[in-house]
Amino acid sequence: MINIDNLSISLNDKTILSGISLCAPSSATTVIIGRNGSGKSVLLKCVAGLMTPDTGSITCSSVQNDKLHADEATTIGYVFQKGGLFDSMTVYDNLAFALRRQNLDETVIREKTAAVLESVSLEGVENYYPQDLSGGMQKRVCLARALCLDPTHMLYDDPTAGLDPVLTDSIGSLINEIRDRNKVTSLLVTHDCALAEKVADFIYLIYDGKVVFNGTIYDFNASDNPYAQQFIHGDLDGPMEAV
């Protein structure tokens, strides 16, 4: 599982997260929602080790993330909000980048990348460049790249940003397939209620740097929590209007 305990972080003297505690159970998808600028992506970057919190601890499968060795860090797959693909590289080279750092034989790398691309329904695009692909296809390449190292944990930073509802639904289905097929522990941040409803086993709502709701997606939809209700209905007169 992923366990976050009393995490706080400030940037440029502004408190972003304050005393956040969260548990993402094994082989399940835990979704963190909140309005833009609520600190969701910062929290995910702390879990990935890309940012260091001021206080608190983060544990992935009983190992604190600040104690992960390089080989253990490959158990975390990260899907960036804006993709993060190398524009100057083909799809194949994007996927092979991390595998080559493991000094694998190129034949093994080709077999691995072909299998992963097939798993996200992108057979035959190895020689394309990112700019040759649609937005939805690029998102699938990002998912494939994260899966190349057989991660036990998947981190998704707003994976459907910029996609229309149809593509958002298809990416949500793929995230569910990855959870079920690979048995990964997933942490996903979004402000999209439709995506959250499709993929969430458990959900946390962040407001003003703190967790103001947590439970199942069913609990969330049925909750009379004013923060949850305002997020669901987009009520600008609710308790979040000052955010």
CATH 3.40.50.300, the chain: domain bounds: 1-75+151-243
Task: Give the pLDDT score at 173.
Answer: 93
Walk along the chain (243 residues) and give the pLDDT tens digit of each residue: 899 999 999 998 899 999 999 999 999 999 999 888 888 999 999 998 889 999 999 988 655 555 444 444 447 899 988 778 999 999 999 999 988 888 889 999 999 999 999 999 999 999 999 999 998 899 999 999 999 888 999 999 999 888 889 989 999 999 999 999 999 999 999 988 889 999 999 999 999 899 999 999 889 888 888 888 888 776 544 454 433
* Superfamily of domain 1-75+151-243, CATH level 4: P-loop containing nucleotide triphosphate hydrolases (3.40.50.300)
Task: Give the pLDDT score at 243.
Answer: 36
Residue 32 tokens read as 């963190």
Task: Give the pLDDT score at 5.
Answer: 95
Task: Give the pLDDT score at 149.
Answer: 86
Task: Give the pLDDT score at 57.
Answer: 92
